[in-house]
């Protein structure tokens, strides 16, 4: 379990982001969670000067499809960084393990193959409550944390 608030960061250490362009790929599975993550990410980007016109959103059916969605955006060479937003909750079968592993490896592979950073904003929790806690609940919003990572990586790029 996370011991810090995912939304806490030092606002003075964030690079100027007003010239950056971001793509956000959002899984439609568990939309109550992924919409909160998207909201946290988008609001954070805009708070740090990113114009809403410089944020492009693409929806995909599930977390496994985040890989393809990110690949399509990264190949456009139009973005300074991407954020992949998804949520996988442990069930009664090994499906959870296969999806989590595949998505993790797929996003990692895209980061190796392309020069645009892709931030992993996929909650892989044991329970729905853990996902709620990490998408705007008592532990903050992982979308905020990932937006900050995206800004920092865009500046590094």
C-alpha Rg value of the chain to the nearest Å: 15
Q: Among the options 47, 48, 78, 95, which is catalytic? A: 95
Helix, strand, coil percent content, the chain, rounded in steps of 5: 45, 20, 30
Query: Residue 144 and residue 88: Cα distance in Å, rounded?
Result: 19
Query: Residue 114 and residue 135: Cα distance in Å, rounded?
Result: 28
Q: Give the residue from 125, 34, 107, 114 showing the smallest Cα distance to 75.
A: 114
Handedness of CA 48, 52, 53, 58 (dihedral sign): positive
Are the CB atoms for 17 and 49 separated by under 8 Å?
A: yes
95 in active site: yes
Residues that are catalytic: 95
């Amino acid at each position: 379990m996370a011991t810090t608030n995912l939304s806490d960061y030092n606002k003075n250490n964030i690079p100027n982001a007003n010239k950056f362009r971001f793509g956000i790929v959002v899984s439609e599975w568990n939309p109550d969670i992924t919409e909160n993550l998207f909201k946290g990410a988008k609001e954070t980007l805009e708070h740090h000067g990113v114009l809403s016109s410089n944020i492009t959103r693409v929806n995909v059916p599930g977390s496994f499809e985040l890989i393809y969605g990110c690949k399509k955006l990264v190949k456009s060479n139009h973005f300074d960084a991407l954020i992949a937003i998804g949520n996988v909750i442990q069930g009664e079968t090994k499906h959870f393990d296969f999806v989590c592993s595949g998505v993790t490896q797929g996003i990692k592979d895209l980061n190796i193959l392309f020069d645009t950073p892709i931030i992993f904003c996929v909650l892989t929790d044991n329970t729905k409550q853990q996902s709620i806690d990490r998408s705007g609940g008592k532990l903050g919003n992982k979308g905020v944390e990932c937006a900050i990572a995206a800004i920092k990586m865009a500046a590094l790029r």
